[in-house]
């Protein structure tokens, strides 16, 4: 059934530090690599080397600029993937029961043997976290690397999602956000972690840590020093005008 | 939203078919024998044909049978169940009426209720989506239901009833656009979507991908917005105002009814195309669109 569980034992999720992320897209590549070679249908590309390339990704990094009036702008890199919402609309809209949320750890997954590829779950997701794979005709989404985190064949340090394992700046953290004593929960509490679009009522598990306040240099933008050419340049300007 | 032809055909024609069935369940038109058979054929071709069209855009048709399983939570699943139940019930009603001459008044009335429930469940597939505020309003189901019973009455040959219903449809279409515009305007900004609004004005520096992707193709379709105002007037005129005027102001006859029907269907298709094409999905905010 695609009913949501009343409560989950854990709330596994990611905490993404927007202060630390440098926008290298390493997490995007690691995610695509792991999820193409492991659980479920591979993440296909279409016309990969042609004029109109496209492909399926479970995680993408967007870069934004924020600017206060009269101040220097600030660049913020924002990786986006499934937020494993507690009140996930993508689960309840699914007609087949393919989309489900696990009671044990809260991970939202797609049962690829039931998915009909209707796309309604992607329509219901405010975050653009689901992409229909054009090759398989199946909805793909972040699995929180469910085939890594419990995988005892991997060394212990590798039992985290591929994006977290690969992040060179330490901007991605993985853990149980349902346990107030967990490292990720403490991090969220310390840094004022926030939800994306909370007014839509999805109750995301993943949290974002806001960029730390930046100091502002006491400078003004450079003034133009030569609006009106003088001297030799002035003469040249007039001479060229007359030509 | 991307206006997939399969979904436009599905919602327009299956709506008309179920609308016609809703009238036929009540014994309208009051015909029998081969004429009644022909009416049932038209209704089934429209209703079932529309449903079949809706499967064309599925990525993975082989699992389609599971779509009947989640009626407790999913409006799409409920729609599938309601549609099949309605078609099966009317199959019995049709057989009994055509070949046995039975009246089947009670079963027919139940069938009519089921037909309307089917149209309602179709509309709820769209109405339920909080991500598309233009659709997420109480008028959306009314819009779909009026399309179905208005068009159905027209098909059933009830010119005057159809005229009144299509006049009502004109009002609801207009109100739905007004409400939709007001709701869409409150969709928010890039600053709201990213939660970075406190840092100042937020603008896109680089998208997450240089090429197109499924999310952009499907949910950030913007072609429809350019001519939305003109298309609204065309859809309103063809689907509702002109047929209503023809039906209410001219003497009833096959020619006028046929003209009204042709106009209505053309207008309904344009209106349905616009319903999808001009709808703004909240994910567009992350792209600054």
User: Which residues in chain B touch residue A31, judged by CB atoms under 8 angstroms apart?
Assistant: none
Res A2: pLDDT = 65
What percent of chain B is modeled with pLDDT above 70? 100
Pull the structure tokens for residue B201: 């004005």
Mean pLDDT over the full length of chain B: 93
Measure CB to CB from residue A74 to each of B131, B192, B199 and give the nearest one: B199
Q: Which of residues 194-223 of B touch A (CB under 8 A)?
A: 194-196, 198-209, 211-215, 218-219
**pLDDT surpasses 90 at B178:** yes
Residue A221 pLDDT level (bands cut at 50, 70, 90):
low
The arithmetic mean of pLDDT across residues A55-63, rounded, is: 96
Q: What is the pLDDT of residue B258?
A: 93
B107 interfaces chain A, CB cutoff of 8 Å? no
- Check: CB of residue A171 under 8 Å from CB of residue A25: no
| Contact assignment for A3 to B218 by CB distance below 8 Å | no
Can you tell me whether residue A2 is helix, strand or coil? coil
Q: Cα distance from B239 to chain A (closest Cα, Å)? A: 27
CA dihedral (B184, B185, B190, B191) in degrees, to 10, reads -130
Three-class SS of residue A3? coil
pTM: 0.92
Band the pLDDT of B146: cuts 50, 70, 90.
very high
Of the residues B286, B288, B289, the best mutation for testing chain A's interface (the one with the most A CB atoms within 10 Å of its CB) is B286
Phi first, then psi, for residue A75 (nearest 5°) are -95, 130
Matching residue, tokens 């939570």: B73
Q: How far is A41 from chain B (nearest CA, A)?
A: 13
Per-residue pLDDT, A1: 54
Q: Which residue of B has its CA nearest to A24?
A: B208
Comparison of pLDDT for A154 and A71, the residue scoring more = A154
**B186 pLDDT exceeds 80?**
yes
Q: Nearest C-alpha of chain A: how many angstroms from B53?
A: 13
The tokens of B154 are what?
A: 């027209």
Cβ <8 Å between A95 and B69: yes
Q: Where are the beta strands (DSSP E) in A38-138?
A: 45-46, 54-55, 59-67, 74-81, 99-101, 108-110, 131-132
Q: DSSP assignment, residue A149?
A: H
pLDDT confidence of residue A103: 94
In whole angstroms, what is the distance from residue A107 CA to residue A101 CA? 6
The pLDDT assigned to A222 comes to: 74
Name the band, by pLDDT with cuts 50, 70 and 90, for residue A110: very high
Which residues are CB-contacts of B172 (< 8 A; sequence separation ≥ 6)?
Answer: B139, B142, B143, B146
Distance (Å, rounded) from C-alpha A79 to C-alpha B203? 16
The shortest C-alpha distance from A205 to chain B (Å) reads 15
Q: Which residue of B has its CA nearest to A202?
A: B130
d(CA A207, CA A187): 10
Cα distance from B38 to chain A (closest Cα, Å)?
33
Give the range among A26-35, A84-93, B50-59, B175-184 with minimum mean pLDDT. B50-59
Per-residue pLDDT at A205 exceeds 80 = yes
Q: Do A96 and B195 touch (CB under 8 A)?
A: no
Per-residue pLDDT for A206 more than 70?
yes
Which residue among A63, A76, A128 sits closest to B283, beta carbon to beta carbon?
A128
Give B11's contacts in chain A (Cβ within 8 Å). Answer: none
Query: What pLDDT score does A227 carry?
Result: 75
Asked if B199 and A211 come within 8 Å (Cβ–Cβ), the reply is yes
Kindly provide the residue ranges of all beta strands, DSSP E only, lying in chain A, ordered along the sequence: 12-17, 45-46, 54-55, 59-67, 74-81, 99-101, 108-110, 131-132, 139-140, 172-176, 207-209
Sheet containing strand A74-81, edge to edge, reads A74-81, A59-67, B201-206
Q: Which residues contact A151 (CB under 8 A, 6 or more apart)?
A: A158, A159
Substitution target in A43, A59, A96 with the highest count of B β-carbons within 10 Å is A96
Are the beta carbons of B60 and A136 separated by less than 8 Å? yes
What DSSP string describes chain B?
Answer: ----HHHHHIIIIIHHHHHHHHHHHTT-S---HHHHHHHHHHHHHHHHHHHHHHTTT-S-GGGGGGGGS-TTT-HHHHHHHHHHHHHHHHHHHHHHHHHH----HHHHHHHHHHHHHHHHHHHHHHHT-TT-TTTSSTHHHHHHHHHHHHHHHHHTT-HHHHHHHHHHHHHHHHHHHHHHHHHHHTT--HHHHHT-GGGSEEEEEE-S-SS--HHHHHH---HHHHTHHHHHHHHHIIIIIHHHHHHHHS---HHHHHHHHHHHHHHHHHHHHHHHHTPPPGGGGGGT-
With CA atoms as reference, the chain A residue closest to B188 would be A197
Task: Compare all CA atoms of chain A with the CA of B215 and give the residue at the minimum distance.
Answer: A128
Give the confidence band of A143 by pLDDT, cuts at 50, 70, 90: very high
Q: Specify the pLDDT at position B226.
A: 80
Q: Do A136 and B132 touch (CB under 8 A)?
A: no
Taken in order A151, A155, A161, A162, the sign of the CA dihedral is negative
State the average pLDDT over residues A166-172. 97
Q: What is the pLDDT of residues B60-72, one digit of tens each?
A: 888 999 999 999 9
**Structure token digits, residue B178:** 């007004």
* Contact at CB, B215 and A118, closer than 8 angstroms: no
Over residues B209-238, the mean pLDDT reads 89
Please choose, from the candidates B78, B77, B75, B86, the residue with its C-alpha nearest in 3D space to the C-alpha of residue B46: B86
Of B129, B209, B214, the CB nearest to A132: B214
Minimum CA–CA partner of B57 in chain A: A118
Distance between CA atoms of residues B246 and B170, nearest Å: 14
Share of chain A above pLDDT 70, in %: 98
Residue (of A69, A218, A201) closest to A125 by Cα position: A201
């Amino acid at each position: 059934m695609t009913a949501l569980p009343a409560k989950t034992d854990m709330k596994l999720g990611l905490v993404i530090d927007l202060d630390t992320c440098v926008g290298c897209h390493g997490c995007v590549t690691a995610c695509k690599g792991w999820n193409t070679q492991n659980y479920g249908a591979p993440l296909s590309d279409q016309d990969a080397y042609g004029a109109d390339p496209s492909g399926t990704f479970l995680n993408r990094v967007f870069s934004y600029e924020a600017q206060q009036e009269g101040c220097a702008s600030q660049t913020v890199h924002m990786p986006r993937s499934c937020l494993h919402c507690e009140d996930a609309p993508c689960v309840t809209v699914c007609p087949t029961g393919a989309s489900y949320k696990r009671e044990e750890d809260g991970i939202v997954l797609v049962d690829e043997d039931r998915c009909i590829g209707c796309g309604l779950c992607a329509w219901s997701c405010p975050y653009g976290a689901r992409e229909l794979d054009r090759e398989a005709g199946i909805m793909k989404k972040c699995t929180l690397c469910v085939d890594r985190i419990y995988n005892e064949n991997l060394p212990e340090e590798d039992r985290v999602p591929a994006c977290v394992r690969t992040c060179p700046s330490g901007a991605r953290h993985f853990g149980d956000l349902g346990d107030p004593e967990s490292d990720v929960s403490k991090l969220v509490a310390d840094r004022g972690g926030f939800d994306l679009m909370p007014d839509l009522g999805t109750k995301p598990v993943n949290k974002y840590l806001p960029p730390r306040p930046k100091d502002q240099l006491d400078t003004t933008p450079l003034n133009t020093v030569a609006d009106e050419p003088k001297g030799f340049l002035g003469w040249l300007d007039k001479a060229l005008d007359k030509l | 939203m991307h206006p997939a032809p399969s979904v436009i055909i599905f919602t327009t024609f299956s709506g008309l078919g179920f609308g016609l069935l809703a009238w036929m369940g009540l014994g309208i038109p009051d015909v029998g024998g081969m004429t009644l058979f022909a009416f049932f054929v038209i209704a089934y071709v429209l209703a079932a044909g529309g449903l079949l069209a809706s499967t064309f855009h599925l990525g993975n048709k082989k699992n389609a049978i599971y779509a009947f399983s989640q009626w407790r939570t999913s409006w799409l699943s409920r729609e599938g169940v309601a549609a099949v139940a309605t078609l099966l019930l009317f199959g019995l009603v049709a057989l009994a009426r055509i070949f046995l001459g039975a009246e089947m008044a009670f079963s027919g009335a139940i069938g009519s209720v089921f037909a309307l429930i089917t149209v309602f469940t179709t509309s709820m597939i769209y109405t339920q989506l909080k991500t598309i505020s233009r659709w997420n309003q109480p008028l959306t189901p009314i819009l779909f239901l009026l399309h179905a019973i208005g068009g159905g009455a027209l098909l059933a040959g009830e010119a005057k009833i159809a005229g009144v219903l299509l006049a009502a449809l004109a009002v609801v279409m207009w109100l739905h656009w007004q409400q939709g515009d007001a709701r869409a305007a409150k969709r928010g900004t890039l600053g709201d979507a990213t939660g970075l609004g406190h840092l100042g004005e937020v603008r896109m520096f680089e998208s997450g991908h240089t090429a197109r992707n499924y999310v952009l193709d499907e949910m950030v379709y913007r072609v429809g917005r350019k001519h939305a105002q003109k298309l609204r007037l065309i859809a309103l005129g063809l689907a509702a105002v002109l047929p209503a005027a023809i039906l209410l102001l001219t003497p009833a006859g096959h020619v006028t009814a046929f003209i009204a029907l042709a106009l209505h269907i053309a207008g309904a298709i344009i209106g349905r195309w616009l319903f999808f094409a001009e709808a703004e999905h909240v994910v567009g905010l992350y792209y600054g669109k």
